[in-house]
Amino acid sequence: MFEEITETMVETPLISGVGFMSLLMYFILNTAFVFGIIRCLYYPKSKRRDYFFTFMLISISIFLMIYLLGSVKLKVGFALGLFAIFGIIRYRTESMPVREMTYLFVIIAISVINALGHEQLTFLELLGTNLLFVLSIVVCESTKWMRHVACKLVLYDRIDLVHPDKREEMIADLKARTGLDIVRIEVGHIDFLRDVVMLKVHYDPHTIRPNTVDTLIKFPKPNE
């Protein structure tokens, strides 16, 4: 028994030159495109280094798992299953914004395609696929009506401006007081006893980066 195991280990090559170079080449391709998307398209607007770290490591993990387990019949179902798990747990620390979730899905998709593409696609076809991903993101980020619109909840004290006829005056007042490029507002709970109203303010974050409390849905009570 021991001799058979020893012979098997001795006969197994320490490294396959062709296989290792193929892995290294596709790994560099995947990492270069993922890093470029995160650094050049995602990070300049969000400035979220925590998601930079997360996206890179998830991409590397997904690529290596799919590439090295390519012979196991897990394939795309395994990759999408991982994404479903990530979507369910959502890291349990804070809700991931929609824009970050979208980039996460793109990163996973690129990593899966690069890991499995070497079996059916040529290197140039895979390179072209990655370029299509980048081009699509650039178009979506640069098209005004497709750009991400951030939002904040504002407890507003000018309840006299809630009337629909004074909506433009309310927007002008909010722009002056917040400095945000407001796109539209939604009127929520109105408290006539305290003369305050809850507003959901949608704004273009092209000059102001979003933060982790933009989508806060509850104002803490004074004793909390």
Q: For 184-210, how does the pLDDT look when each residue is reduced to its tens digit (9 = 90+)? A: 888 888 888 888 888 888 887 764 455
Cβ-based neighbours of 199, under 8 Å, separated by 6 or more: 153, 154, 155, 156, 174, 185, 186, 187, 188
**DSSP one-letter string for 67-115:** HHTTTSTTHHHHHHHHHHHHHHHGGGTSPPPHHHHHHHHHHHHHHHHHH
Task: Report domain extents, the chain.
Answer: 2-146, 150-203
Tokens matching residue 4: 């058979």
Q: For 143-171, how does the pLDDT look when each residue is reduced to its tens digit (9 = 90+)? A: 766 666 677 888 888 888 888 888 888 88
Under the banding of pLDDT at 50, 70 and 90, the label for residue 35 is very high
Can you give the pLDDT at residue 160?
Answer: 84
Can you give the pLDDT at residue 5?
Answer: 46
Mean pLDDT estimate for the chain: 75
Q: Does residue 33 carry a pLDDT above 90?
A: yes
Q: Does residue 77 carry a pLDDT above 70?
A: no
